[in-house]
């Protein structure tokens, strides 16, 4: 068995293998038996523990994600029903499908864990929770909330007063026909209804 340091090639292979694995399984769970076929000279415990060390580095290993890319990925994944091939070709040609899937899973986890909780707390005037959050988290919440509200307002024919980069990207006068179904599902969410003014 190999107890040596991991080379950069092995490191990249591990990240790409795990991303591919998640994409194939359409899940954030890793099938370690499949992953281990790429690392026959290493033990499962070695591979798992090394992945724990590097799993948060995948953004920096490839390309940093901008806030607009994160927003675009979340929106297009829902609009195009997770057709990663189409999304990759049309919107993210410099990234692999497995990178898109992996990033989407992280965004989705963040939305469930942080975003919706903050929105709920703010709508019931309990802002103590929000005050203790990092500035970066609050900026993300503000940006995403405004973007979704703007898209809903544009769809309803209402004026918008604060444009986000996403509005400039998708258009400030009308919504794309493919956005409509996704926006309809959002408009049923009471969190966004409470924010609408």
- How does pLDDT run across 19-33, given as a tens digit for each residue? 788 777 777 688 999
Alpha-helical (H) ranges within the chain are: 8-25, 32-36, 44-54, 58-61, 67-79, 84-91, 97-110, 116-123, 128-131, 135-155, 165-170, 179-187, 190-195
* Residue given tokens 């959050």 in the structure block: 133
Q: What is the mean pLDDT of residues 163-184?
A: 62
C-alpha–C-alpha distance, residues 87 and 73, integer Å: 8
Query: What's the confidence (pLDDT) of residue 9?
Result: 87
* pLDDT confidence tier of residue 34, bands split at 50, 70 and 90: very high
C-alpha–C-alpha distance, residues 117 and 30, integer Å: 27
Structure-block tokens of residue 46: 């070695």
> Where are the chain's structural domains?
8-61, 67-195
Percentage of the chain modeled with pLDDT above 90: 10
* Cβ neighbourhood burial of 188 (10 Å; 0-12, 13-18, 19+): exposed
* pLDDT confidence tier of residue 56, bands split at 50, 70 and 90: low
């Amino acid at each position: 068995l190999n107890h040596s340091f991991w080379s950069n090639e092995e490191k990249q292979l591990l990240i790409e293998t795990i991303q591919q694995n998640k994409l194939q399984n359409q899940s954030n769970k890793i099938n370690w038996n499949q992953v281990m076929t790429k690392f026959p000279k290493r033990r499962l415990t070695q591979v798992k523990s090394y992945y724990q060390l590097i799993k948060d580095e995948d953004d920096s290993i490839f390309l940093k994600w901008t806030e607009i890319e994160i927003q675009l990925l979340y929106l297009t994944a829902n609009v195009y029903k997770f057709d990663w091939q189409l999304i990759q070709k049309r919107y993210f040609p410099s990234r692999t499908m497995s990178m898109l899937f992996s990033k989407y899973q992280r965004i989705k986890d963040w939305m469930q864990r942080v975003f919706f909780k903050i929105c709920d707390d703010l709508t019931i005037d309990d802002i103590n929770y929000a005050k203790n959050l990092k500035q970066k988290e609050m900026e993300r919440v503000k940006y995403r909330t405004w973007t979704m509200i703007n898209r809903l307002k544009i769809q309803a024919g209402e004026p918008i007063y604060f444009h986000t980069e996403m509005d400039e990207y998708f258009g400030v006068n009308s919504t794309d026909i493919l956005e409509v179904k996704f926006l309809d599902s959002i408009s049923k969410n009471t969190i966004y209804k409470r924010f609408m003014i």
